[in-house]
Amino acid sequence: MGEPGPADESAPDSVTARSGSTSPSRSAAHEATAVGRAGSQDRQDRRSATLGALIGALAVTFVSAVFIVAFIGGLHAPGPRSVPIGLVGSAAEASQLSASLSHQAPGAFVIHSYPTETAARNGIGSRNIDAALVPGPTAQRLLVATAVSEAETNAILKAFGAEAATAHVSLTVQNVRPLHSGDPQGLAQLFFVVALLAPSLGFGNQLISRIGPKLNEYRHLAMIAVYSVIVAAVATAIADAGIGALTGAPWGVFGVGVLLAFAAAAMTAAATRWIGGLGFIVLLLLFVPVGVSSSGSTLGPHMITPWYADVGKALLPGSAQPAVRNITYFNGHDIIDPLLVLSAWALAGVIALVLAAVLHPPIPGKRSQEQESATAASTVPKTGANPSDTSVRR
């Protein structure tokens, strides 16, 4: 074989030169493409974050609007509306008093006649009326109960004081159901309900989403029952023995607290189990701003718009608050309807969770997370694979 010529000696160098000249341009192109893709992804991430922040701001604004409409709209012009008042006298005298009061405030009072003062007092104690007038030729006595509502009592005093002044008779006032000295404004009833309602809503949601998502619904119900007993016992002990605001009937108040906490937690757990976070938000808005304001808050249901007060009586705060009040101050009279409403909400939550245990519907949001995890797992190469084997097979 002959010696390689000059051309042959230079061949490897020329190949090397060509390969060296093309490699930097290709890598630069790849780098530019990667930078462009990164910049595009960065801009897309910023747009997504901006859009998410805007949606979040709108959602929070909506929640704020619900609170404003519920509280300011529902309680902005308090005044007596269909307040039941007793009159010791005949039905004709009751009709005459009703017509006279209607000139001052149409629809503010509904007058009921009672044959004796004792019967009128019993009417206040049994929650049939909120006050009673005992007339006389030169003096009148007005029996009131600030335990019903201090704001309502003040409205009654104002109206009947003006009526007595018009008739040129004196008016004396007797408070037959005063508020406890430890709760002179009657705030304890409302705060007791709110202090049980809000945490119970949160507990029901977290039980499904974080605390026990892998537990079955029967265990959820058992945990809710235990929680309700504990939280109601603590709340009652603080409000009664600790502070002395709700005294006189601790076991009755405790029972209402257990039923309220269970109903709130069970309904929220059921809503979260079937609908997800949206269900929790809906119940939160329904029970807190709407429920508390439509209960009349510290004003009482007879001091707000009647149809709104009727809505409140069907919700948890509007049924729990009068139950606590009537147990504490009125010997448990007129608590059947509030307890039935609380029981209905509790039963609805139990039924919804039992149906979830029987039907096993997918938990909202969990399916998509599992699909994303499965997709991510499928894109990861199996461990132990030998890349050289693949090249050989090719």
Residue 387: which pLDDT band, with cuts at 50, 70 and 90?
A: very low
What H or E segment, with its residue span, contains residue 143?
strand 139-144
Q: Which residue has the higher pLDDT, 207 or 367?
A: 207
CA 61 from centre of chain: 17
The CA angle 108-324-130, to the nearest 5 degrees, is 25
Looking at mean pLDDT, say which of 134-138, 160-164, 182-186, 255-259 comes out highest.
Answer: 255-259
Q: How far, in Å, CA of 335 to CA of 49, rounded?
A: 51
Q: What is the pLDDT of residue 27?
A: 66
Burial code (b: 16+ CB inside 10 Å, e: under 16) for 312-337 equals bbebbbbbbbbbbbbbbbbeeeebee
Which residue type occupies 54? L
Task: Determine which of 52-56, 188-192, 244-248, 327-331 has the lowest per-residue pLDDT on average.
Answer: 52-56
Q: What is the pLDDT of residue 394?
A: 40
Q: What is the pLDDT of residue 52?
A: 86
- The pLDDT tens digits of the residues spanning 8-30 come to 544 445 444 444 445 566 666 66
Q: What is the mean pLDDT of residues 141-154?
A: 96
Burial code (b: 16+ CB inside 10 Å, e: under 16) for 263-294 equals bbbbbbbbbbbbebeebbbebbbbbbbbbbbb
**Which of 314, 261, 259 has the alpha carbon at shortest distance from 286?**
314
Q: How far, in Å, CA of 141 to CA of 39, rounded?
A: 83
326 is written with which tokens? 């009537």
Q: How far, in Å, CA of 126 to CA of 149, rounded?
A: 15
The pLDDT mean for the chain works out to: 87
CB 321 within 8 A of CB 259: no
**SS3 state of residue 171:** strand
CB 256 within 8 A of CB 321: no
Q: What is the mean pLDDT of residues 320-337?
A: 97
Q: What is the pLDDT of residue 384?
A: 47
Q: What is the pLDDT of residue 392?
A: 41
Q: Which residue has the higher pLDDT, 344 or 385?
A: 344
Q: What is the mean pLDDT of residues 287-293?
A: 96
51 is written with which tokens? 């859009």
Tell me how crowded residue 123 is: count the other CB atoms within 10 A of its CB: 20
The CA angle 182-260-80, to the nearest 5 degrees, is 60
- CA distances from residue 16 to 6, 11, 213, 287, 339 in whole angstroms, order as listed: 16, 9, 64, 79, 92
CB 174 within 8 A of CB 132: no
Q: What is the pLDDT of residue 323?
A: 97
Tell me how crowded residue 84 is: count the other CB atoms within 10 A of its CB: 17
Percent of the chain with pLDDT over 70: 83
Q: What is the pLDDT of residue 7?
A: 47
Q: Which domains does the chain have, with CATH numbers?
A: 83-175 (3.40.190), 187-369 (no CATH)
- The pLDDT tens digits of the residues spanning 59-97 come to 889 989 999 999 998 888 899 999 999 999 999 999 999
- Is the pLDDT at 136 greater than 70, yes or no? yes
